[in-house]
Chains A and B, each alone.
Chain A
Amino acid sequence: MSNIDFLALGPEIAVTAAAVLLLMIEVARKPSARVWGWIAGIGIAAALGLSIAGWVLGRGTDANLYFSDMLALDGFSAFGGIVVFTLTGIGLIAGWGLVTSLRRRGAEFVALVLIAAAGMHLMAASANLIMLFIALEVASISFYVLAGITRNRAADEAALKYFLLGAFASAVFLYGIALVFAATGTLSMAGQESFLGETILLRPGVLLAGIALLIVGLGFKVSAAPFHVWAPDVYQGAPSGVTGFLAAGAKVGGFAALARVLTVPLDAYLDDWAPAVAVVAVASVVVGTLLAIAQDDIKRMLAYSSVAHAGFILLALTAGDAGVEAVWFYVSTYALQVVGAFAVVAAVSGPDTGASPLDSYAGLGKRSPMMAAGLGLMMIAMGGIPMTTGFVGKLGVFRAAIDAGYLWAVVTALVATVAGLFFYLRVIVRMYMDAPGGDAPALEVGRGPAWAVGITSAATIVLGIAPWPLLNMLRDALPF
């Protein structure tokens, strides 16, 4: 019954083993950063390979449960693994400058990224609320430390804020788990699903309160309004080399968990939670868009924009099962856009600094055509302009929400999309139409950010023009 199968944990074992090995070699031999890179690369590649294998074997089938129903292996978790580990790889490449600038502590950085990846994937694969909580904490605590890894004032502040508020949200989430347990008598999602499917609760108050708190806890992780307050400070304060990974990782892990929790065990209560999700979604879209307009720092702007994007993704969840495909498409392509955009930020402002004022992007088109084109593309994609993944993603999300009957939410989101173009295009205007201040020389771009920007740009365009491979893959992967 317990069904212990270590192969089911393969991706986690691969990255964790890489992290452990890396730290041990580090204290024993003090190798060069290149060695860390090899170890991490092999670990991530192995995890990615195992996830792909999991997808090939597990797509379209019902979940296989392991470790006493703690872990679910299905297309959902396998696709999550593919996204998470791809993201981790690109994130590490984009932020490699930060690793070298941290000197010997770079090993800790790489190890933390690997452990965070394990946590993120576990969030997609958890089939038990306690397991989900542990996965969430593994990823979150790694994130807190990563945000403060440079140990300067701004990073310290970011890390501390992230940690304190994150702890608060975790507590709320845990309380939500307790209430759901109180209402259903089990922590296993499968158990809850069958219980709620067969039983009509006469007094669903405890369960509903639990759902509310679960939404709050995960809403915090994905920075949905009004639980987004940490995002701008953390984005701005965290070193640029890792912000993209933090931002994208939190979204991917958070939405994986949210999608599974809301559509598997709580599916029967769709009519109760969907309106609340719609309200949170619209609030996020509106707040994120409005506040992003007024930002002068690109990282704060991207933070508020990520709040708006969280809202867009939440919109798809109002459709329940039917929206999961749109959620995955949006969140995976958005994650690539974010990592690409922050790779440019890291190249412009340096991977170990926090703030990145918009003014420093003036004339980037001349200083570094490739970086400017990359950032420009990401802005266009985030703005949802056709021929990019951003457009396809928004289309799917809106369609899901319309099918679910939330036309008012979609119309609001549409208006916000249009308003959002202002601040995305403002960046482009800055880069191409303003002269660089003073005598700004051509920008030296390392190979890491260049590769990261190249890969994410290619993915954004190719999947924007021809999204069907990914869409078909998702349709295969999700058993719904």
Chain B
Amino acid sequence: MALVDYLPIAIMFALALVFAVVSLLLSRLIAPHDPTPEKLEPYECGIVPLQDPVQRFPVRFYLVAMLFVIFDIEIVFLFAWAVQFEALGWPGTIAVGVFTLLLVETLVYAWRRGALDWNIPHRERYRRVVAPEIEEAA
């Protein structure tokens, strides 16, 4: 592949760069500059922030985020399969089915282990399964 073939990509890249720089510069030049303390606060839906936004939040967010990302990525694979559906035929269908089932199985396992129980301290499963182990580990 000759270097020339990359030219559209290079042009695209340059355009994106120009657009970002130009719009930032323009707003800097055009916008009036009159700061007040309230204006310098981080924007949080128009409400005055009560505390420093950098703080700890439950690790459970990550779990949910990860489960979400897993299913998000599943779509990427399914898309590729859908494009080649005819060519791959039944074996492809089986493979993708197994793949999906594997992800479902992961979800089932995580679910049954209490990963999706949000308000855990009040849940019976937590008392029965998770709490003893946490104590044990501590």
Contacts and interface: CB of A to CB of B under 8 A. Distances in A.
A4 B92 contact: yes
Contacts of B133: 103-105
B105 interface: yes
B137 A6 contact: no
Interface string A438-460: 00000000000000000000000
Contacts of A23: 105, 109
A475 B136 CA distance: 51
Contacts of A26: 109
Contacts of A152: 137
A104 B133 CA distance: 9
A185 B87 CA distance: 23
A16 B106 CA distance: 13
Contacts of B129: 104
Nearest to B87: A2
By secondary structure, the A interface counts as helix
Contacts of B123: none
A4 B96 CA distance: 13
B95 A103 contact: no
Interface in A34-82: none
Nearest to B89: A4
B88 interface: yes
A27 interface: yes
Contacts of B102: 16, 20
A300 B12 CA distance: 52
A151 B113 contact: no
A24 interface: yes
A397 B72 CA distance: 47
Contact of B112 (A16, A27, A103, A151): A27
A173 to B, nearest CB: 20
In this complex, the interface size class of chain A, counting residues with CB under 8 Å from chain B, is 10 to 19
Contact of A4 (B88, B105, B108, B112): B88
Contact of B105 (A2, A24, A104, A105): A24
B108 A24 contact: yes
B123 to A, nearest CB: 16
Nearest to B106: A23
Nearest to B102: A20
B75 to A, nearest CB: 18
A151 B137 contact: yes
A4 B129 CA distance: 43
A368 to B, nearest CB: 28
A258 B124 CA distance: 50
B26 interface: no
Contact of A20 (B1, B91, B92, B105): B105
Contacts of B95: 4
B132 to A, nearest CB: 8
Nearest to A1: B87
B1 to A, nearest CB: 7
A162 to B, nearest CB: 19
B6 to A, nearest CB: 11
Interface string B101-132: 01001001100110000000000000001000
B1 A27 contact: no
Contacts of B1: 185
Contacts of B136: 103
B137 A27 contact: no
Nearest to A3: B91
Contact of A27 (B87, B94, B113): B113
Contact of B91 (A6, A103, A150, A185): A6
A20 B107 CA distance: 12
B108 A2 contact: no
Contacts of B92: 4
A26 B109 CA distance: 9
A72 B112 CA distance: 38
Contacts of A4: 88, 91-92, 95
Contact of B88 (A2, A20, A24): A2
Nearest to B134: A151
Nearest to B105: A20
A473 B95 CA distance: 34
B116 to A, nearest CB: 13
Contacts of A6: 91, 94
B52 to A, nearest CB: 26
B9 to A, nearest CB: 13
Contacts of B87: 2
Contacts of B109: 23-24, 26-27
B2 to A, nearest CB: 12
Given A16-B102, A24-B105, A185-B1, 19 more contacts: A2-B88, A4-B88, A4-B91, A4-B92, A4-B95, A6-B91, A20-B105, A23-B109, A24-B108, A24-B109, A27-B108, A27-B109, A103-B133, A103-B136, A104-B129, A104-B133, A105-B133, A150-B137, A152-B137
Interface of B: 1, 87-88, 91-92, 94-95, 102, 105, 108-109, 112-113, 129, 133, 136-137
- Going nearest first, the 3 A-B pairs with the smallest beta carbon separation are A27-B112, A4-B91, A151-B137
16 contacts: A4-B91, A6-B91, A6-B94, A16-B102, A20-B102, A20-B105, A23-B105, A23-B109, A26-B109, A27-B109, A27-B112, A27-B113, A104-B129, A104-B133, A151-B137, A185-B1
